[in-house]
Amino acid sequence: MRGDIIKALVFDVFGTIVDWRSSLIAELSAFGAARGLAADWPALVDAWRGAYAPSLDRVRRGARAWAPLDVLHRETLDRLVQEFGIAGLDEAALRHINRGWHRLRPWPDAVGGLGRLKRRFVIAPLSNGNLALLTAMAKQAGLPWDAIFGADLFRHYKPDPETYLGACALLDLPPQEVMMVAAHNADLAAARALGLATAFFPRPGEYGPGQVRDLTAEAAWDVVAQDVEDLAARLGA
């Protein structure tokens, strides 16, 4: 790998750095128990995440105006609460649940690996989350980012080119000196097409038992690692 060329690493976050599924299921289960609410929380979380790509795609296609991920999450949540027949949630409760995305827990290797990488590289999220979400998450989880690239900086969602190239422009670096890190092959394919370097590691537990996607590198990415700690080791950090 052209390790000495790379100046900055930008990271996908949901799934790559934080374990959204287990975090949200744990949050909602505890919330439901405290309130005496019963529901199939794993199914609700899977449905919530299942609406993610379609809701982003509507913005990407121009079928709706720009809206940050916090707003899209909330719209989906309001619908799912109806569909799952969960009653008695007031505005404060719905807001609290929606902010669960701000409190996602990092995978065990993430904080340590990022700390190593930060000593040698500029590190930042490049996520479809909005800046406020990503900043709150970083404080809560201890993610030591140097800067925060949320989709609201660009008013575009990945894989729109404006996101990858927008981050490179703000970093004042050519794409060749920026490495996209993701547990998702499609994200890396979009980044590579624009000239960014790429690093992959799998998160086979991201979607829960029976996950079938992104279990392996589907192209010859510049680095294929086990996790963030291993990526740091492979990049000499």
The least CB distance from residue 225 to its own copies, in Å, is 23
The least CB distance from residue 90 to its own copies, in Å, is 20
Stretch that binds its own copies, among 31-39, 58-66, 87-95, 148-156 (CB under 8 A): 148-156
CB distance 122 to 7 below 8 Å = yes
* The residue count for the chain: 237
4 counts as binding its own copies under rule CB under 8 A: no
Q: Which of 126, 138, 178, 231 binds its own copies (CB under 8 A)?
A: 138
- CA–CA separation, 205 vs 222, rounded Å? 23
122 counts as binding its own copies under rule CB under 8 A: yes
19 counts as binding its own copies under rule CB under 8 A: no
φ/ψ (deg, to 5) at 108: -60, -30
CB distance 96 to 102 below 8 Å = no
Which residue's CB is nearer to its own copies, number 2 or number 119?
119
47 counts as binding its own copies under rule CB under 8 A: no
148 counts as binding its own copies under rule CB under 8 A: yes
The least CB distance from residue 131 to its own copies, in Å, is 4
What distance, in Å, lies between the first and last C-alpha atoms of the chain? 13
Residue type, 174: P
With b for 16 or more beta-carbon neighbours within 10 A and e for fewer, the 147-161 pattern comes to ebbbbbbbebbbbbe
131 counts as binding its own copies under rule CB under 8 A: yes
Q: Which of 37, 170, 189, 217 binds its own copies (CB under 8 A)?
A: 170
- CA–CA separation, 109 vs 25, rounded Å? 21
Residue 229 has, within 13 A of its CA and on its CB side, a CA count of 7
Stretch that binds its own copies, among 40-48, 142-150, 184-192, 220-228 (CB under 8 A): 142-150
How many angstroms separate the Cα of 120 from the Cα of each of 6, 29, 95, 116, 117?
10, 40, 38, 7, 6
94 counts as binding its own copies under rule CB under 8 A: no
Which residue's CB is nearer to its own copies, number 148 or number 190?
148
User: Which residues are at the interface with its own copies (CB under 8 A)?
Assistant: 68, 70, 118, 122, 130-132, 135-136, 138-139, 146-148, 150, 152-153, 169-173
